Amino acid sequence: MSSPAIDRILRGPTGLGTAGLQLRPPTPVAEAGTSEAVAPEAAVSELADPELPVAQTPAVDVAVVDASVVEVAVGAVPAAGAALVGAVASEALAAAAAALEAVLPEALPSAPVPSSAPVLPSGPALTFGAPAAARSGGKPKTGDPIPGLYHHPIAEPDPVRVAELSLKIKAWAIDEIELYPPEWEKDFDGFSTGRYMVACHPDAPSVDHLMLAARLMVAENAVDDCYCEDLGGSPVGLGSRLLLAHTALDPLHTTAEYHPAWEASLSEDAPRRSYRSAMDYFVAASTPAQADRFRHDMARLHMGYLAEASWAEAEHVPEVWEYLAMRQFNNFRPCPTITDTVGGYELPVELHALPAMQRIIALAGNATTIVNDLYSYTKELASPGLHLNLPTVISEREGVSRQEGYLKAVGVHNELMHAFEAESAALAVACPVPTLVRFLRGVAAWLDGNHYWHRTNTHRYSLPDFW
């Protein structure tokens, strides 16, 4: 028999509205000529909110192509499990290709695949849109992309969805959780949460699915602004504040005597109210594994906040590699890793935990966070004190001009993006499970949407005159 991990992967996606991806065991030799196809079983999780529509993923019989591909994807495969997979290799290739064509019909130019990646005779690969052409020179106009920054332009987000989501997220923030006072309304509107989330999640089945991401985004920004940044934030005592806020995401399990005091604390300030409410909605619409994944990603984020705060307290400028290490934790990772929940399906935990997938997610988070460093550079330069971002740290630590530090940071971003795309394509070829490829495409779409939002949000950002 195959291992439980292999069985779980071959069963395929579960969760929000997915149909089960089933592996049909090989037919015994004596019955090989009389076998009949087995109808895949539906594996649909019920939502706590019955009004939340869900996406449908076509059901297929087999998800993984042969034993060598499974070994690349999940490590050493027990001999019996490898034989089981190998027995249905031909059928698997055809079924996986057909499922991918149904789930991901877009025909986009192919991304480079490292020579070390396993290549299937006709297996599908993740592809990406054409990158934007580099500008020839001169200062970019308002709303232009950063010259030389590797990115993929996207179509304007659906204005109907943007308008509906913008109304819903503002009603949640004002009426439901009382997130901000009237004087913050202009900045809330200027953040353009609706446009941001529609751009980043093009495969979301409904506005209700987009609201899952929008609430969490607004809540994360409330914590950042009120605990860390310029709306009352400070590095002093940040650890305590973050710990208590984190219990709104990862509940305290305590005795009956002390539970009421903790419960009351969750409404004491706007960040905790927003965390609790956003997480309640997310838990109701996600699987337990997806919710736990998000909690871990938020713990990573909070650890990054604390490292940056410690440097601020000590007035320490880290080495460039140290800064990049901090940014791997203090980054956007929690946002793209919920792309499957927002899309109405689930990436199985064994596939999410693959070292190759974890590296791809880290590269994505790192690259998209440097986009933020680059677009917010001018705003941060005008703020009091030395605000750490990648261009500034390069300039300070490597003794180069601000312009040179900025342009080198553009190059760092581009290298990370190329690595993200190449390794995403390689993993899609190595393990062509429909949900895995859809997840990779979703993360790539999030990166493209995040760049679009930064480029077009002229309420918040402008570019330096370095060209």
Amino acid 37: pLDDT: 36
Hey, what are 436's tokens? Answer: 């895995």
Helix 67-74 × helix 402-430 angle, to 10°: 140
H runs (alpha helix) in 150-269? 159-171, 185-191, 193-200, 207-223, 238-246, 259-265
**What's the pTM value of the predicted model, to 2 decimals?**
0.75
Q: 181-209: per-residue pLDDT in tens?
A: 888 899 999 999 999 999 999 999 999 99
Ordered alpha helix ranges (H), 59-205: 67-74, 79-86, 89-103, 159-171, 185-191, 193-200
pLDDT tens sequence across 12-46: 444 333 333 332 333 333 333 333 333 333 333 33
pLDDT in tens, 334-388: 999 999 999 999 999 999 999 999 999 999 999 999 999 999 999 988 877 788 9
Q: Which pLDDT belongs to residue 230? A: 67
Give the pLDDT band of residue 139 (cuts 50, 70, 90). confident
Q: Which residues pair with 18 in a beta bridge?
A: 57
**Helix-then-strand count for the chain, H and E:** 20, 2
pLDDT of amino acid 140: 85
